[in-house]
Structure formats: structure tokens, C-alpha cells
Amino acid sequence: MTANEMKPIVEALLNAPSCCPELKAVAQAWLVAVGTNQEATVTGALLQEAREDICTIEHTLGFFESPAAE
């Protein structure tokens, strides 16, 4: 995926009310870094933060079915 393809996704992420502050900070840093020599590094940080903070529907359903959700 190119930076041009990622940009609207990252912008939508920033506007999502459920986006946590840590992910918003990395997403904002990514937008600033696009087109610079820091883009690759910040892209890695953005992807890592997204993996840590975004919960898929499969994970959510798994949690709802677990004893912890009771």
C-alpha cells in the first residue's frame, strides 16, 4: 500500500472518536513524516501501534464469549 492509499485511512483513524491518544499521536506523526526520510520508520511505528490498539471483531467476539466478560 502506498502512502497516498494510506493517507485517507490514517486521516479517518484520527477522526474516529474511539481512537486512543497514543494511536492518534503516532498517526499524526505519520502524516507529518509522509514524503520525508522518516516515513519508513514512522510507518513501522504506526503499524505496531495499530496492532496493539485496534481490536478486530473476532477479538471482540472472543472476549464477549470468555469468562472474563462475565
User: Residue 14 in contact with residue 27, Cβ under 8 Å?
Assistant: yes
**Best CA proximity match to 32, nearest among 52, 50, 53, 46:** 46
pTM to 2 decimal places: 0.80
| Residue with cell string 514512522 | 42
**CA-based nearest residue to 23, from 51, 60, 59:** 51
Provide the pLDDT for residue 47. Answer: 95
Q: How many domains does the structure of the chain reveal?
A: 1
Please give the residue range of the domain that contains residue 46: 3-69
Check residue 62 and give its pLDDT.
Answer: 86
Residue 19 has a pLDDT of 92
pLDDT at position 11: 96
* Per-residue model confidence as pLDDT tens digits over 1-40: 899 999 999 999 999 999 999 999 999 999 999 999 999 9
Helix (H, G, I), strand (E, B) or coil at 51: helix
**Per-residue confidence (pLDDT) for residue 46, from 0 to 100:** 96
